[in-house]
Amino acid sequence: MAGALSLAWGVTAHRPALLRQVLRSFSVTAVRNQETGAAVAAASIDSRKSPLILDEKFPDSNSIVVPREAWIETLDTSAASTQVGLIHLHPQVFGANPRLDLIHENVTWQKKFRMVNYAHTKVRSEVRGGGKKPWPQKGLGRARHGSIRSPLWRGGGVTHGPRAYTTHFYMLPFSKRLQGLTATLSAKFAQDDLKIVESLDMPSDEAGYLEQLCENRRWGISVLFVDDSDIMPRNITLASDTLRHMNLMPVYGLNVHSMLKHETLVLTVAAVRRIEERILYHFRRPDLPKENMKRFRM
Amino acid sequence: MSAGVCSLVTLRCVSGLRCLKAAVSQRAVHTCPAALGITNLPAGRHTIPDSRAQVETSTAEWHYVERLFPLKSIPKPTVAPGEVTPSGWVAPSAKPGDHPYFVRRSPSHMIPVYLHHIPHISKYRTFVSHVEGDVFALLEELREYLQDRKHTRILNMRAHEPHQKIEIKGQYVAEVREFLLERGF
Amino acid sequence: MASQGTEKALALLRRLPRVSLGNLKPNPGAVKSARRGRGIYGGKTHGAGSKGSGQRQNFMRLGFETGNTPFYLRFPYQNYYKGHHMRLSYAPLCMGKLQRMIDTSRLRTDVPVDITQLSATQLFSINPMEKMGGIMLKDEGIDHFQATLNLEVQWATEAVITSVERNGGTITVAYYDPISLQAALNPMAFFKRGVAIPRRMLPPQNLIDYYSDPKNRGYLADPTEVARERFVLAQKYGYELPDIRSSPNQEMLLERKDPRQIFYGLQPGWVVNLEDKVILKPTDPELLEHYAS
């Protein structure tokens, strides 16, 4: 494999340190790719184009976790190789502690904050009838009752029943929403469900092309494509239009629920850098404690 | 009696409708003579003189505005690792790997030791956050350190591994900070 | 492994089933189901009696001393509370903490430090609508204070003034009326409103004496008197007053605001346009007269 790689990366043969990194990432993070013959693909990397190497060191990182490494892929199957480069991901965003409880809190919040419960039951005064005392208080030897719609009666009112409209709106603290995003991105990356592509440009606008691509890459049934801009390339928009399990989303719409709803999350390089910039801005802003104290206002 | 009331009600409705129609047809109130008369009154002619709108623009003082811009992120201190500053704040000097655990600083570069207090039941708890690595190793070392310092037999403390936290019952903020400073965190 | 915690968790996740909407759950014990108990200890009031604090809270009301006459009712008259509803309160800032803000680069020292620079650190919550007057300096940690600053705060004691001047700095106490204070606390929000910078009001009657006293380094005091008092204080505490004229940052240390001014270098009546990065100045003589000091 090393031989194949050194052949493939002939363009960058004068950078042994980089090669080491590539090898390490190959052996540590890209196990599944290895099984699917990524070594063969890497061997035939397009030597005409110089590979995209984004090996940032993140000296400003607050985390002691080493930067994550990932392949940059392309959606163009006619290219000589699926991999076109290598990217380093910020450890505070893609190597955060995967707090599954926070992910769960975020998902619950996303479900509940827009939920309105329409279930409704009538109390004894709202049930039709029941104004008359069914029988005299004394003298009949029967239990005393004042209304046939009492909760004790069949067909009577309901005590402590659901009352419409019950809203379940609440806001999760800002920091928890932030950590939910980093935890989900980190968990997705750790499970090899986060892929990075150069851009969302495709040579074809056929739905079958996209389906075949995802199947060949073993991206699973449902895939979420995230780009920096909300104006997506024409071909992928048309191809994913009829596929309800392949969705497109801009970075500003990225959320925990959607990431977990899809099996694979595909980010463009621009989207990765945008996500890092936004999340790190919030982590480092001086008024973050004040943001957490803020009450929600409509 | 009832008929009279009814007729009154209908009359009122009709007159209301008429008023509404009239109002709709005469919506341009300012064109009616009465409204024009009002605008001719001295009180209605209050205008701001044009000279008030005349301004001169300047960029010479812009640097005074620039110094008012708040910082977007908390700046990184320009202090060498391990150096003690006049206020007693020490820049962290520990490297990952020096200890089985690593305690990173909070975003504001302070040691992440916090006191939680519930006033009405007088409950105090000390928390150490951002513990990377082996939380339980830190717990054991901390327990030994506090037992030596405070001469207490009972120390109620536990580690939250997934939350990367240590919780101690009681007030031990100063001691824990000292412990972490000694190890360069 | 240095970062065993996070790395270990991420490595564990790698071999576990995919985290998805179907297999998430909260931490064990984190969620308590709300169940309404019936019968004994439950039923109608759940042991909480009826109405009031017994039913609604878990602790006694503030100041309640279980049968004694509470302290706050024991004395009929306490003179130091007189006029409390008129007085201003100030956010405290210890000198040791001020030094720590400088050590950790949280505060700029190349410009005069006033309420705007202090509030830009986001470490204070000051609300003029709740009768807060700004920031007061407390003398805790004055022994560690070593910075040379041009300070402007709203309240300071003699010990604080000593510690600032001994290090070659200058200090002024200045009053801000609520509207000016709001503008000074968040100048960006103020400039975005597109209105003219207001004229700072003079202090109310009960504070005039404090802010005109050269001993307090009041902003309304005569500068020559202040210079004399600086010397007197140095004599009193036995330190040599550093010469500001020979200091390298003399210009910064001697920068002062007009009593009607809110921001350094920006006059009342001016409008700051953040979009085009220009300052609009009125030329109308009436307006100039209105905004003049």
Tens-place pLDDT, residues B100-122: 999 999 999 999 999 999 987 89
* pLDDT at residue C216 tops 70: yes
Structure confidence at residue B39 (pLDDT): 55
Judge contact between A68 and A89, C-beta under 8 A: yes
Indicate the number of domains in chain C: 1
Judge contact between C102 and C126, C-beta under 8 A: no
Fold annotation for A49-101+171-293: Ribosomal Protein L4; Chain: A; (3.40.1370)
Which chains are within 8 Å of C by 3+ CB pairs?
Answer: A, B
- State how far the Cα of A184 lies from the Cα of C16, in Å rounded to an integer: 15
- Mean pLDDT, to the nearest integer, of A90-110? 96
Structure confidence at residue C226 (pLDDT): 96
* Mean pLDDT of all residues belonging to chain B: 81
Q: Do A64 and C16 touch (CB under 8 A)?
A: no
- State how far the Cα of C88 lies from the Cα of C181, in Å rounded to an integer: 13
Percent of chain B with pLDDT over 90: 63
Residue count (chain C): 293
* pLDDT at residue C104 tops 80: yes
Please name which of A252, A233, A217 lies closest in space to residue A33, comparing C-alpha atoms: A217
Query: Residue C36 contacts by C-beta under 8 Å, 6 or more apart in sequence?
Result: A160, C42
What is the sign of the dihedral through the CA atoms of C258, C260, C266 and C270? negative
Percent of chain A with pLDDT over 70: 83
- State how far the Cα of B94 lies from the Cα of C252, in Å rounded to an integer: 38
CA distances from A124 to A7, A158, A163, A184, A217 (A): 83, 7, 13, 48, 62
pLDDT digits (tens, 9 = 90+) for A145-172: 999 999 999 999 998 899 999 999 999 9
Least confident among A58-62, A167-171, C279-283 = A58-62
* DSSP letter string, B65-119: HHTTPPPSSPPPP---TTPBPTTS-B---PPTTSSSEEEPPPTTSS--EEEEEEG
* More confidently predicted of B76 and A9: B76
- State how far the Cα of A160 lies from the Cα of B184, in Å rounded to an integer: 58
Chain C touched by B162 (CB under 8 Å): yes
Q: Do A285 and B73 touch (CB under 8 A)?
A: yes
pLDDT digits (tens, 9 = 90+) for B120-177: 789 999 999 999 999 999 999 999 999 998 887 789 999 999 999 999 999 999 999 9
Structure confidence at residue B125 (pLDDT): 97
Asked, as a colleague might, if the bond just before A165 is cis with ω within 30 of 0, I would say yes
Structure confidence at residue B44 (pLDDT): 57
| A63 contact residues in B (CB cutoff 8 A) | 104
Q: Which two tokens mark C11?
A: 């490595």
CA B142 to chain centre: 33
| Single pTM value for the model | 0.82
Residue B120 Cα, gap to closest chain C Cα (Å): 6
A:B CB pairs within 8 Å: 31
Question: For residue C240, what are the domain limits?
Answer: 89-265
Structure confidence at residue A51 (pLDDT): 83
- Mean pLDDT, to the nearest integer, of C1-21? 85
Percent of chain C with pLDDT over 90: 77
Residue B74 Cα, gap to closest chain A Cα (Å): 5
Question: To 5 degrees, how large is the angle CA A53–CA A59–CA A62?
Answer: 120
The type of residue at A26 is: F
Judge contact between A20 and A45, C-beta under 8 A: no
Least confident among A171-180, B22-31, C48-57 = B22-31
Residue C55 within any structural domain of the chain: no
Please tell me the CATH code under which domain B101-182 is placed.
Answer: 3.30.780.10
Q: Which two tokens mark C259?
A: 């009593």
pLDDT digits (tens, 9 = 90+) for C155-180: 999 999 999 999 999 999 999 999 99
Structure confidence at residue A121 (pLDDT): 96
Structure confidence at residue B33 (pLDDT): 52
Torsion-angle region of C222 (φ positive above 0: left; ψ -120 to 50: alpha; else: beta): beta
Residue C113 within any structural domain of the chain: yes
Structure confidence at residue C36 (pLDDT): 73
* Mean pLDDT of all residues belonging to chain C: 91
Structure confidence at residue A281 (pLDDT): 96
Where residue B35 falls among pLDDT bands split at 50, 70, 90? low
Chain B window 89-128: which residues touch C at a Cβ cutoff of 8 Å? 89, 96-97, 100, 102, 108-109, 120-121
| C264 contact residues in B (CB cutoff 8 A) | 64, 67
Query: Three-class SS of residue C248?
Result: coil
Structure confidence at residue A34 (pLDDT): 40
Query: Three-class SS of residue A111?
Result: helix
Structure confidence at residue B102 (pLDDT): 94
- Mean pLDDT, to the nearest integer, of B24-39? 50
- State how far the Cα of A172 lies from the Cα of A174, in Å rounded to an integer: 6
Torsion-angle region of B37 (φ positive above 0: left; ψ -120 to 50: alpha; else: beta): alpha
Q: Give the residue extent of every domain in chain B.
A: 7-44, 101-182
Q: Do C4 and B88 touch (CB under 8 A)?
A: no
pLDDT digits (tens, 9 = 90+) for A219-277: 999 999 999 999 999 999 999 999 999 999 999 999 999 999 999 999 999 999 999 99
Please name which of B87, B68, B64 lies closest in space to residue B77, comparing C-alpha atoms: B87
| B74 contact residues in C (CB cutoff 8 A) | 106
- Mean pLDDT, to the nearest integer, of C39-56? 75
ipTM comes to: 0.85
- State how far the Cα of B113 lies from the Cα of B106, in Å rounded to an integer: 9
Chain B touched by C66 (CB under 8 Å): no
Residue C206 within any structural domain of the chain: yes
Question: To 5 degrees, how large is the angle CA A92–CA A97–CA A99?
Answer: 130
